[in-house]
């Protein structure tokens, strides 16, 4: 069973809508909220208000671009969690109202599972099973993907996510929000071996990033006491060095899991997978180790409704629907099989 599905993503600060037909994405509209930049982070209340303002025109544009009338839809999908509660409520309420009015089934999607299934929006696509490193502002996970709806989380961060480490080290240097892209930008002109930062070794396939942020902060405090202009003089090298450290931690665990589980199909997903340092390192290591590496297009790495639509497509085929009484879950867990 397959059909035409409208998907809505509103977990954080992107309002997005997409239409998928029989597993093919026909449209993917994303409205990014720029208001949060001056606050150095996402302000939940402002995000919720922006979603309320943007959701109707974004959905309308997605349907128009796909050349689909709302009466032709077979189901309505939305991000159930994890995310900001107020932001999730906007998307969930809109989806529930539309599903009720059109008398169509409702599909609730796990945001983290959707990031992984972004690999199936376009070709080439990995074969099952594949190992996926999912990296974002709120999550860092290693997942064995056995099928679109059967996955196993084998490792995750025990404290901060790698995206948070990128953003907070950038903030320490005085860079704008979101900091990850700025670190990536300046790192291109820097020496990744100029400064050494600790590479925390956590057992099994788990990660830890809180100690690196503390070490980075203490290092800059010490150096700026000697030279107040230290950060500005060494910006490129600092960005290259901290990016190298964070990417190395990710790659170390990924290589360990791939070797021990004997998996050659490797993918990355989530907002941090847009980082050029991580993408290039993965491709280089993949050539050395004989991996088949899969990286979604840039626009499908950050939060978007196309990935929600792809996850909804597989759930629709499996008859996995929600009751209209369902509620979003900001702390929704993702441990594997839905």
Binding residues for Fe cation: 111, 115, 303
Query: Which residue ranges make up the annotated binding site for substrate?
Result: 134-138, 167, 180, 184, 275
Query: Which residue ranges make up the annotated binding site?
Result: 111, 115, 134-138, 167, 180, 184, 275, 303
Closest to 254 (Cα-Cα) out of 156, 107, 127, 129: 156
Contact (CB, 8 A) for 134 and 116: yes
**Residue 123 DSSP symbol:** S
- With residues binned 3-state (H G I as helix, E B as strand, rest as coil), the percentages for the chain, rounded to 5, are 50, 20, 30
Contact (CB, 8 A) for 1 and 316: yes
Q: What is the largest CA-CA distance in the chain?
A: 67
Two tokens at 215? 């070490």
Contact (CB, 8 A) for 136 and 142: no
The neighbouring-strand residues paired with 336 are 152
Cis peptide before 82 (omega within 30 of 0): yes
Chain centre distance of CA 173: 24
């Amino acid at each position: 069973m397959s059909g035409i599905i409208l998907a809505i993503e509103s977990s954080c600060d992107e309002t997005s809508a997409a239409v998928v037909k029989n597993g093919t994405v026909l449209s993917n509209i994303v409205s990014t909220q720029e208001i949060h930049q001056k606050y150095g982070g996402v302000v939940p209340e402002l995000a919720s208000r922006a979603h309320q303002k943007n959701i109707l025109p974004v959905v309308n544009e997605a349907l128009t671009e796909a050349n689909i009338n709302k009466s032709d839809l077979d189901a309505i999908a939305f991000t159930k969690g994890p995310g900001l509660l107020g932001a999730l409520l906007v998307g969930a309420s809109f989806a529930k109202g539309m599903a009720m009015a059109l008398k169509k089934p409702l599909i609730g999607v796990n945001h983290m599972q959707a990031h992984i299934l972004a690999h199936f929006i376009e070709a080439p696509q990995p074969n099952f099973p594949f190992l996926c490193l999912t990296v974002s502002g709120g999550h860092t996970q290693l997942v064995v993907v056995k099928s679109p709806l059967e996955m196993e989380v084998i490792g995750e961060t025990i404290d901060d996510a790698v995206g948070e480490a990128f953003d907070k080290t950038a903030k320490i240097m005085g860079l704008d929000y979101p900091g990850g892209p700025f670190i990536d930008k300046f790192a291109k002109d820097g020496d990744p071996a100029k400064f050494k930062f600790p590479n925390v070794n956590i057992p099994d396939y788990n990660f830890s990033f809180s100690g690196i942020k503390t070490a980075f902060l203490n290092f800059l405090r010490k150096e700026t006491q000697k030279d107040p202009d230290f950060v500005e003089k060494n910006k490129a090298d600092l960005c290259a060095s901290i990016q190298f450290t964070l990417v190395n931690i990710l790659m170390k665990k990924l290589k360990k899991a791939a070797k021990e589980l004997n998996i050659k199909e490797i993918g990355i997903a989530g907002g941090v997978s847009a980082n050029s340092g991580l993408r290039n390192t993965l491709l280089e290591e993949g050539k050395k180790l004989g991996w088949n590496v899969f990286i979604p297009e840039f626009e499908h790495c950050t939060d978007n409704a196309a990935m929600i639509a792809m996850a909804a497509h597989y759930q629709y085929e499996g008859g996995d629907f929600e009751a209209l009484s369902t509620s979003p879950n900001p702390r929704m867990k993702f441990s594997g099989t839905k």
